[in-house]
Structure 1
Amino acid sequence: MPDVVADGLHVLFCGINPGLMTAATGHHFARPGNRFWPVLHLSGFTPRLMKPSEQGELLSYGLGITNVVARATARADELSAEEYVEGGRLLSAKVERLRPRWLAVVGVTAYRAAFGDRKAQIGPQERTIGASRVWALPNPSGLNAHWTAATMAEEFGRLREAAQAQ
């Protein structure tokens, strides 16, 4: 699954791993029930609701997308602890190279597993990677039912405001 990245982004969003539909289409967060694209718009990151096939336009807004683990699965719980740890190591190297202002890991459980921070909560983290700050966001998967699109958009909006203030 190719990354949507460039040097010096405002925010590099990091999904857990590609789902099967994402892998089949080549577009991040492609599953129809995934709320990433609507939440990105509701939070003010994009001026309109974008389709997964328009992911390349994110670069014009200073945004990008990557994943913690490259392997596609039907569900994130199919990934091993070792894959998360190795993914965190590779992600750290990518962030050091690309130098985004913020790395936003979309899924606090994935953040905890990749970076060995079992007590991490949603929001800004103390960890930095090089000069990049880190934020853990709720997972926009439709399986994460205790977060609504509106409450996710509030948290994404907090990150947007922090990224703009920097």
Structure 2
Amino acid sequence: MEDVIADGLRVLFCGINPGLMSALTGHHFARPGNRFWPALHASGFTPRRIAPAEQQQVLALGFGITNVAERATARADELSAAELVAGGRTLTAKVERYRPGWLAVLGVTAYRTAFGERLAQVGPQERTIGGTRIWVLPSPSGLNAHWTPAALAEEFARLREAAFAA
């Protein structure tokens, strides 16, 4: 699955891995039940709700999209710890290459495994990659039901405020 990425972004959003619908369409967060695109709009990152097929438009808004792991699965918990750790190394190299202001990892459990941060919580992290700060967001998957759409949008908005602060 191709990254939506460029140099000097304000935020690089990083999903765990492509779902089966995303792998089929080539669009990030393509499954209709995924709450990424609605949360992005509700939090103020986008002026309207962007469809997965319009994903390239986010570059002009100052952010991009990638994944920790490349292998498509029906559920993120089908990935092995080794795949997530290897993905963390690849992601670190991407961040060092493109130097976004923030890396936003969408899934606290995946972040903990990929970066060996067992106690990480949702929110800004102490760890940085070069000059890039890290923010862990909840997974927007419809399977992550204990985060309501409103709470998810609120956490995205906290990141937006930090990323676009003067």
Q: TM-score range by the shorter chain?
A: over 0.9
Partner of 1:104: 104
Please give the TM-score of this superposition, normalised by the length of structure 1: 0.99
The residue correspondences of 1:17-32 to structure 2 (distance < 5 A) are 17-32=17-32
Is residue 149 from structure 1 mapped to residue 149 from structure 2 by the alignment? Answer: yes
**Whole-angstrom distance in 2 between the partners of 1:126 and 1:77:** 26
Residue ranges of structure 2 left out of the alignment (5+ in a row): none
Secondary structure of the structure 1 residue equivalent to 2:161:
helix
Is residue 161 from structure 1 mapped to residue 161 from structure 2 by the alignment? Answer: yes
Partner of 2:78: 78
**Whole-angstrom distance in 2 between the partners of 1:120 and 1:77:** 18
**Whole-angstrom distance in 1 between the partners of 2:106 and 2:149:** 14
**Whole-angstrom distance in 2 between the partners of 1:45 and 1:165:** 13
**1:83-103 CA distances to partner (integer Å, 9 max, x unpaired)?**
000000000000000000000
Runs of 4+ that moved beyond 4 A: none
**Whole-angstrom distance in 2 between the partners of 1:157 and 1:109:** 21
Partner of 2:114: 114
Which amino acid is the alignment partner of residue 164 of structure 1? F
Name the % identity: 75
Secondary structure of the structure 1 residue equivalent to 2:105:
strand
- Cα deviation for residue 165 of structure 1 reads 1.3
**1:110-133 CA distances to partner (integer Å, 9 max, x unpaired)?**
100100001000000000001100
**Whole-angstrom distance in 2 between the partners of 1:77 and 1:163:** 29
- Cα deviation for residue 73 of structure 1 reads 0.7
Aligned-pair Cα RMSD in Å:
0.6
Residue ranges of structure 1 left out of the alignment (5+ in a row): none
The residue correspondences of 1:87-102 to structure 2 (distance < 5 A) are 87-102=87-102
Partner of 1:66: 66
**Whole-angstrom distance in 2 between the partners of 1:107 and 1:77:** 11
**Whole-angstrom distance in 2 between the partners of 1:76 and 1:152:** 18
Partner of 1:15: 15
Partner of 2:50: 50
Please give the TM-score of this superposition, normalised by the length of structure 2: 0.99
- Cα deviation for residue 13 of structure 1 reads 0.1
